[in-house]
A and B are shown apart, each in its own frame.
Chain A
Amino acid sequence: MAGSGTAHLRDGDALLRVENLVVEFPAGAGRRVHAVSDVSLDVLTGETLGLVGESGCGKSTTGRAVMQLPRPTSGQVWFEGRDLTRLGGDELRRTRTRLQMIFQDPISSLNPRRSVSDIVGEPLAIWQIGTPADRRRRVAEVLDAVGLDAESAGDRRPHQFSGGQCQRISIARALMLEPKLVICDEPVSALDVSVQAQILNLLEDMKARYGLTMIFIAHDLAVVRNVSDRVAVMYLGKLCEVAPADDLYRAPAHPYTATLLASVPVPDPAVRPDPSVSDLDVELPSPLAPPSGCRFRTRCPRAEAVCAEREPQMRQMAPGHFAACHFALEPSAAAAGHTSWRERRDA
């Protein structure tokens, strides 16, 4: 993983292009938390990029750094041809209307003292778009699109709604200014399974209806596969692997991706839990002093001396499929057909 490089960035005009993003936080005594270390990503118009990894891998920080919340330590964030990291206050604010974010906790991300129509209409009011009547119409239209009845829901406050409905309200608010890019940070992980499916379907519908491009940040690999066209896997502030979703799940090239996939509990008693995951070293290295070379090497079953010495760079494993690993798993099986990585590993 732990690798760097930009080989996986595509030519042509991506809607969003993140280059060599670094985010560090001071941790006292002159030490720094290396939250995101040299990550590059791109998202084409209309695409959904899934960003997965375990807690502390920097996936949320990456999403927030794209929004300049806070501004990254270094690196560039190109959005519609402009580098957001160089835009000043007012210009950044204007540009940011086309970037919106949806957060994990739907209840705490809504102001409890305001009515739903105020919350959803606020972006229009701030930018003084349309007359009050126009705004009301627009609020009703978007609330309707997310499956809420403006008539009965508009005057109520967030606490009168369930978690799933609050997430619908957050989605409505994010859509008000007709954004191009929506960054969803764990939008369904606080919801029950049955409600989670409703919200995932809604996000797909909204994406089609409003022509959205999405970054979908989540730790749940099954959820990410469901919504993503392309998936990027992060570990300890670095990118391990980027590939079209189907290729990544069928034939992961990076040992960390393979470990993640092997850990997912499958709702089928015939699939026995993978014993190899238990052998994984239980200690996650500290982001204050990440390991040299490949950051996954301390827990990697395939690590050798070179992994500590040289940081692996992103390289192409198959068309569109990139991984940063000195000893990547052979992804050719993906091309060969339907052999799953489980079978390949057991063979």
Chain B
Amino acid sequence: MSGGPLLEVTDLRTHFLTSRGAVRAVDGVSFTLERGRTLGVVGESGSGKTVLARSIMGLLPAHNVKRDGEVVYEGRRLTGLAPSELREIWGAEISMVFQDPMTSLNPVVRIGRQITETMHFHLGLPDREARSRAVELLRSVGIPEPERRLRAYPHELSGGMRQRVTIAIALACGPKLLLADEPTTALDVTVQAQILSLLGRQQRERFMAMILVTHDLGVVAGRTDEIVVMYAGRVVERAPTTVLFSDMRMRYTQALFRSIPRITDPGHRRLQAIGGRPPDLVAPPRGCSFAPRCRYARERCHVEEPPLTDAGPGHAYACWYPAEPGEVAAEAASAAREVAG
């Protein structure tokens, strides 16, 4: 089975059953991820990116959830596994790093035990060995005085330090896939840069694949091989990272890219905001879910849902009236020239 891709997600659906009806948080997502590669998942809040990560992991509530589709990891169907079987995979094969490092660490357990716990469970390491490995791990994630830190409680550490600890825990058993869900959103910008570099370095050293979930196009630009853009629970565009930025086609991707202020822009530049807000996932609009906010939308967009259309190797988008190839990149380049001139 080692010949195939590391992870294959096919038509994954996760609907939450509420009194208002089914919330279609993830609604038919497919992609594959090769070993050692990085996939960025970009979207705004409510786009389904976090639920997607949790669905891959199998971290969903037991009740009032309707799941469909397949997640295949190294040839094994994760979607069919019982929780007891999933525990063999969590941490050992697939790990996760969450947004808020305070709530993902146990506040009343010392750092050291939180790191060695998974090594006891998965690798059966004796105490001494697990501790010395924990020290090594803390050192490798850039925590000064690791021996002393093992005895610290989470509240004694800053937010950046805590996130380094959660990364150390995630890496402890050498997983082949790391799911990082907004790992730097709660952190300051200099700390964010450090944590992202740390993740990249660990990934290269361990030949580990990563899914990096974020709302920030800046975060994925320099640090991923491939990107999927999500909107209203679906993938609306998918491309190798450089292709996406040079050749984005889907109108939502384009609008998102245009709406962000940049540090290189001159001051007081009028931002191109996207009007309205994301759709209600209980009753998504007919046709393209972005159509009500899209300034290029025509009649067809409100009636018929656009399929994912191939636009080149690895590049697909779902849009009836897409941007011309290279249109957005040309715009950005001319804006940059304006600044320089």
| Contact of B189 with A260 in the complex, beta carbons under 8 Å | yes
Contact of A226 with B340 at beta-carbon distance under 8 Å, contacts A264-B189, A282-B161, A284-B158 already known: no
- B22 at interface by CB-CB < 8 Å: no
Chain B residues, Cβ within 8 Å of A221: 189, 263
Chain A residues, Cβ within 8 Å of B193: 262-263, 265, 273-274, 277-278
Q: Which positions 220-269 of chain B face chain A at CB distance < 8 Å?
A: 221-223, 241-242, 245, 255-257, 259-269
- A197 at interface by CB-CB < 8 Å: yes
Give the total of B residues in contact with A, Cβ under 8 Å: 55
Chain B residues, Cβ within 8 Å of A197: 259-261, 271-274
Residue of A nearest to B275 (CB): A198
Give the total of A residues in contact with B, Cβ under 8 Å: 51
Contact with B along A101-136 (1 / 0, CB 8 A): 000000000000000000000000000000000000
Among candidates B188, B191, B260, B275, residue contacting A222 with C-beta atoms closer than 8 Å: B260
| Contact of A225 with B190 in the complex, beta carbons under 8 Å | no
Residue of B nearest to A57 (CB): B188
- A268 at interface by CB-CB < 8 Å: yes
Chain A residues, Cβ within 8 Å of B196: 265, 273
A277 to B267, CA, bound (A): 25
A52 to B142, CA, bound (A): 26
Q: Which positions 265-289 of chain A face chain B at CB distance < 8 Å?
A: 265-275, 277-278, 280, 282-284
Chain A residues, Cβ within 8 Å of B257: 267
A282 to B165, CA, bound (A): 13
Among candidates A220, A226, A269, residue contacting B222 with C-beta atoms closer than 8 Å: A269
A267 to B272, CA, bound (A): 16
| Contact of B190 with A54 in the complex, beta carbons under 8 Å | yes
- A206 at interface by CB-CB < 8 Å: no
Task: Name the residue in A223, A261, A272, A277 with the highest tally of chain B Cβ atoms < 10 Å from its Cβ.
Answer: A277
Contact with A along B169-205 (1 / 0, CB 8 A): 0000000000000000000111111101110000000
- Quick check: which of A36-44, A81-89, A188-196, A316-324 contacts chain B, the rest being far away? A188-196
Residue of A nearest to B260 (CB): A193
Task: Name the residue in A192, A229, A266 with the highest tally of chain B Cβ atoms < 10 Å from its Cβ.
Answer: A192
Task: Name the residue in B143, B221, B270 with the highest tally of chain A Cβ atoms < 10 Å from its Cβ.
Answer: B221
Among candidates A162, A226, A245, A274, residue contacting B271 with C-beta atoms closer than 8 Å: A226
A198 to B159, CA, bound (A): 30
- A201 at interface by CB-CB < 8 Å: yes
A280 to B160, CA, bound (A): 13
Contact of A194 with B190 at beta-carbon distance under 8 Å, contacts A223-B261, A226-B261, A267-B221 already known: no
A225 to B261, CA, bound (A): 8
- Quick check: which of B76-84, B211-219, B307-315 contacts chain A, the rest being far away? B211-219
| Contact of A263 with B267 in the complex, beta carbons under 8 Å | no
- B144 at interface by CB-CB < 8 Å: yes
Contact of A278 with B197 at beta-carbon distance under 8 Å, contacts A265-B222, A271-B221, A284-B158 already known: yes
Chain A residues, Cβ within 8 Å of B277: 162, 164, 194-195
A340 to B205, CA, bound (A): 33
A94 to B274, CA, bound (A): 39
Chain B residues, Cβ within 8 Å of A284: 158
Contact with A along B41-57 (1 / 0, CB 8 A): 00011000000000000
Among candidates A201, A225, A267, residue contacting B218 with C-beta atoms closer than 8 Å: A267
A272 to B224, CA, bound (A): 11
- A68 at interface by CB-CB < 8 Å: no
- A246 at interface by CB-CB < 8 Å: yes
- A292 at interface by CB-CB < 8 Å: no
| Contact of B222 with A261 in the complex, beta carbons under 8 Å | no
* Shortest CB distance A249–B (Å): 6
- A15 at interface by CB-CB < 8 Å: no
Excluding A194-B274, A197-B259, A268-B221, 8 further A-B contacts by CB distance (< 8 Å) are A197-B273, A204-B270, A226-B261, A263-B192, A266-B262, A266-B263, A273-B197, A277-B190
CB pairs A–B below 8 angstroms (24 shown): A162-B277, A192-B215, A193-B215, A194-B255, A197-B273, A201-B271, A219-B188, A223-B261, A229-B267, A246-B266, A263-B193, A265-B196, A265-B218, A265-B222, A266-B218, A266-B264, A268-B222, A268-B245, A277-B197, A278-B193, A282-B160, A283-B144, A283-B158, A284-B158
